[in-house]
Amino acid sequence: MATPDPPWTAHRRRARALGERYPHATQVLGVYLALVDAWDDAWRECREERPAPAGLAAWAASRVVPRVVKATEASGPEPLVVGCREVSDPERPLAAWLAGEEQPPVERYLARASLYPALVALDEAAGDACRDVQVAPGLDPRDAASQGGRRCPRCGGPPQLTWRDASGEALVSARRRLLCARCGHGWAFSASACPSCGETAGAKRTVYGETHEGTVIGPSSEAPSTVEFPHLRVDACATCERAWRESSGGVDSRVQSADPRPA
């Protein structure tokens, strides 16, 4: 059976479209596109070799980290390039990321970028590589119900953003979903709760979006010309003092692709 294509075709298309529209983000998107090229081979190799979950950090440290560092050197800012070069033992931050430990920015970047294609390739088995994660004593982080659905049901990782697909109806909001920061899995989540702490009181949560002239009801194929980011909004919570970026599909056809989720 032929190996399927890597799952980042839509991501490439969207990143290029965003780069054309937002020149100030050219470097960041350039790093992302360089990483996607590195992920392609890593994803294929992981699917073929199926490294043992317990050895995933070591496998990615030797097989993926050099490619991620090379991609970063080609497109990244100098401080990030220097920081990546100074990580002498890459297996350590990769293992820490799988275990859910807090890390400095450079180590976290290197771990996320290097493990992501492997965790995507492992699919449902990704959770086995994260079995030692503990977010609270006696709590299994892979049990989404134990966290009110706020952790990834596949690997127990934290969400990195929320998004909604296009609903197709002007007055109907699509179901809200969370995107895992670790394995890239998406899952449904309540539209009336904070992804960080579960707060549901409307008085504690505020949604921010760009203002624009006129009235827009529901998704529109032509975004208002006065709005720079029509597909984005921020959901802030006063209880935990966290804010979440949310992407909405179908709002702006100029930046949407078949898969509106960033990696």
Same domain as 53, residue 111: yes
**Which of 14-23, 58-67, 203-212, 222-231 reaches the highest mean pLDDT?**
58-67
Count other Cβ atoms within 10 Å, centred on residue 46.
22
Residue 256 falls within a domain, yes or no? no
- 199 assigned to some structural domain: yes
In a domain, 159, yes or no: yes
pLDDT at 137: 42
Q: For 126-176, give the DSSP string.
A: GGGGGTT--SSTT--TT-GGGGTT-S-TTT-PPEEEEEE---SSTT-PPPE
Question: Would 71 be classed as within a structural domain?
Answer: yes
Domain that holds residue 83: 9-130
| Residues 169, 219 share a domain | yes
Within-domain flag for 107 = yes
Asked whether residue 16 falls in the same domain as residue 93, the answer is yes
Boundary of a domain, candidates 79, 95, 130: 130
State the pLDDT at residue 32. 95
The reply to whether 14 and 125 lie within a common domain is yes
Choosing from 98, 130, 162, the residue where a domain stops is: 130
Residue 88 shares a structural domain with residue 156: no
- Assign 1 a pLDDT band (cuts: 50, 70, 90): low
Q: Are 170 and 219 in contact (CB under 8 A)?
A: yes
Chain segment 28-71, per-residue pLDDT in tens: 999 999 999 999 999 999 999 999 988 999 999 999 999 999 99
Tell me the pLDDT band of 214, cut-offs 50, 70 and 90. Answer: low
Q: In this structure, is residue 263 part of a structural domain?
A: no
Lowest mean pLDDT among 28-42, 154-168, 177-191, 192-206: 154-168
- The domain tally of the chain equals 2
